Amino acid sequence: MSWSGLLSLLVPCLLSFVLLRFSALLDPGAAVPRVKRSPPLPLRFRHDGAFKILQVADMHFGNGAATRCRDVAPEVGGARCSDRNTTRFLRRLIEAERPDLIAFTGDNIFGGSATDAAESLLRAISPAIEYKYLK
């Protein structure tokens, strides 16, 4: 790759970083988000030394019962299988596997089309929250 090609990649990235990092300076009235940090918690291994991780990816949560099925078997068709089916499946999976850590990766909500993205995210991870506090 030539220097000009490398610069054409680096300059937009650097500019984006600077704009995002210092956007509060551009709007002095903007609130600066504060992140509450909790102390790091140690990983707890099982008595046999095992540590089970459940990775949950690409759930595509939307608007509850109104969410249409996508990428399903032809016999299911475009029925409204909804986020509730995903929630039930995730609960069964958590109960069966009893993981020590649940990692949510990928597109877990339809951010652009969900009526309330924060609510959709909370509903998507609620089985993990229930598992943590009810086990």
Phi, psi of 105 (to 5 degrees): -130, 160
Residue 23 confidence (pLDDT):
59
What residues does each domain of the chain span?
37-134
Give the separation between CA 127 and CA 91, rounded to whole angstroms.
6
Both tokens of 86, joined, read: 């995903």
Element (H, E) at 19: helix 3-21
pLDDT digits (tens, 9 = 90+) for 42-91: 888 999 999 999 999 988 887 776 676 666 666 655 566 677 778 888 99
